[in-house]
Amino acid sequence: MILKSQVEWALHCCAILAGLPEGRYLSTKALAELHGLPKEYLSKALQSLSQASLVETTLGPSGGYRLAKTPSDINFLEIVEAVEGKARSFTCTNIRANNPCRPQGYCDSKPCAVARIMWEADEAWRDTLRRVRLSDLVGTLSEEVPADIWRSTFEWVLKRAG
Amino acid sequence: MILKSQVEWALHCCAILAGLPEGRYLSTKALAELHGLPKEYLSKALQSLSQASLVETTLGPSGGYRLAKTPSDINFLEIVEAVEGKARSFTCTNIRANNPCRPQGYCDSKPCAVARIMWEADEAWRDTLRRVRLSDLVGTLSEEVPADIWRSTFEWVLKRAG
DNA sequence: CGGTTTTCGGATATGATATGTCCTTAATTC
DNA sequence: GAATTAAGGACATATCATATCCGAAAACCG
Ligand code: FES
Ligand code: FES
């Protein structure tokens, strides 16, 4: 069970977009260059964010992406699910139904106990992500990233934001 | 991010083995037949359980698997990690290091903020699984599975247990 | 002892999914 | 009209999950 690397990409990109001034857009090209990622493929991740209505886009030169909501209104789960999908990590294939001791045509009333436990764990994972806002990440980053790097990155981005 | 189906298989098999009388073994063949699974491939999952010291084996006719510990001493996380591995679901590929604004040779002191949050969620998932014991599952099953099916399954297993 | 049954591990094949590239279309800016 | 951009489809490649097969070693049974 491994998350795709697009999840990391999306989170980093959202963190950058969160620092963008009101009304400005940042292109895929800039985001790819900033993170050292293949532009074409990163584009797929950004499209996922767009389809999830987490970011807005505009075309043409000076086009690109910006957040569709305030950073404090976006949580980690939204971003993760946008690229990873909302499907649960555990799927019950109902192998209990293959038990040869079962009467013909017997039908289970509840989802099985095994799946319920695995889904509970899945929900705990999602709950944790749901509780962390994008603004929390930006806050942590602004404390931890050395001030000069933080500032020069911001300038680098502004220079390319349309 | 999707768990392999072997996880489900291992959990179901452990639940069955938990009902086995002291000192008896159940073969892969019986477990595969009971759950309608490919014997050869299920064998791989059981080998994983064996390598994790969750089950003990013996060879020859009347050989097979039995639990290595009491059901109340085995938790879900042990079983899941045995077949799924202990690696975290999120891997930080350190793309922050590609930031062109960084000074040459700059080295990060901490794991990055993004990864820490994702790992926290991963830990919440593991914590939930760690808290559920195999004996809890057996207890739930014995309440929910209709008594006649429960009993006949038990007899079916005993007839094949060496 | 010899034949059977079992686990174990390696080798191999197949299918699905993640990753990555390329190209076309439509919208926007200048 | 030319340049730039997101969107999305087609395609190629790599990795991993799934599945099967085989040989070796151990245990049981006659
Ligand atoms: S029958 Fe296996 S998890 Fe539901
Ligand atoms: S640098 Fe991306 S998660 Fe650590």
Quick one: pLDDT at residue A73? 98
The structural domain count of chain A equals 1
The mean pLDDT value of chain A amounts to: 96
B129-156 tens-digit pLDDT: 999 999 999 999 999 999 999 999 999 9
Burial A89-122 (b: 16+ CB within 10 A, else e): bbebeebbeebebbeeeeeeeeebbbbebbbebb
CA of B5 to C1' of D22 (A): 25
Distance, in Å, from the CA atom of A13 to the CA atom of B27, rounded to the nearest integer, reads 51
C-beta separation of B69 from B54 below 8 A? yes
Asked if the Cβ–Cβ distance from A1 to B5 is below 8 Å, we say no
Query: Cβ contacts of residue A97 below 8 Å, gap of 6+?
Result: A108
pLDDT beyond 90 at A108: no
Q: What angle do CA A64, A69, A70 make, to 5 degrees?
A: 110
Give backbone dihedrals phi and psi of A41, rounded to 5 degrees, phi first.
Answer: -80, -40
Q: What is the CATH number of the domain that holds B130?
A: 1.10.10.10
pLDDT beyond 90 at A1: no
Q: Which of the residues B8, B84, B136, B145 would you substitute to probe the A interface, choosing the one with the greatest number of A C-beta atoms within 10 Å?
A: B8
Distances (CA, A) of A57 to A18, A139, B71: 14, 25, 54
Mean pLDDT score, A20-49: 97
Residues with CB under 7 A from strand C: A 4-6, 38, 40-41, 44, 58-63; B 2, 27-29, 40, 43, 46-47, 50-51, 57-65
C-beta separation of B25 from B63 below 8 A? yes
A134-156 tens-digit pLDDT: 999 999 999 999 999 999 999 99
pLDDT band, residue A28 (cuts 50/70/90):
very high
Quick one: pLDDT at residue A63? 94
CA atoms within 13 A on the CB side of A138: 18
pLDDT beyond 80 at A44: yes
Quick one: pLDDT at residue B131? 98
Distances (CA, A) of A59 to A29, A35, A53, A62, A64: 13, 22, 16, 8, 7
Give backbone dihedrals phi and psi of A65, rounded to 5 degrees, phi first.
Answer: -120, 150
pLDDT band, residue A109 (cuts 50/70/90):
confident
B106 and A CB contact within 8 Å: yes
CA atoms within 13 A on the CB side of B9: 26
B4-49 tens-digit pLDDT: 999 999 999 999 999 999 999 999 999 999 999 999 999 999 999 9
pLDDT band, residue B162 (cuts 50/70/90):
confident
- Among B93-97, B108-112, B156-160, which is the least confidently predicted range? B108-112
Which domain range does residue B39 map to? 5-159
In chain B, whose CA is at the least distance from the CA of A84?
B1
Quick one: pLDDT at residue A98? 95
pLDDT beyond 90 at A104: no
Work out the end-to-end distance of chain B between its first and last CA atoms, rounded to an integer number of angstroms.
39
Asked if the Cβ–Cβ distance from A8 to B93 is below 8 Å, we say yes
The mean pLDDT value of chain B amounts to: 96
pTM reported for the whole predicted model: 0.95
A66-86 tens-digit pLDDT: 999 999 999 999 999 999 999
pLDDT beyond 80 at B1: no
Give backbone dihedrals phi and psi of B95, rounded to 5 degrees, phi first.
Answer: -70, -15
Looking at chain A from residue 126 to 145, which residues have their Cβ under 8 Å from any Cβ of chain B? Answer: 126-129, 132, 137, 140-141, 144
pLDDT beyond 90 at A107: no
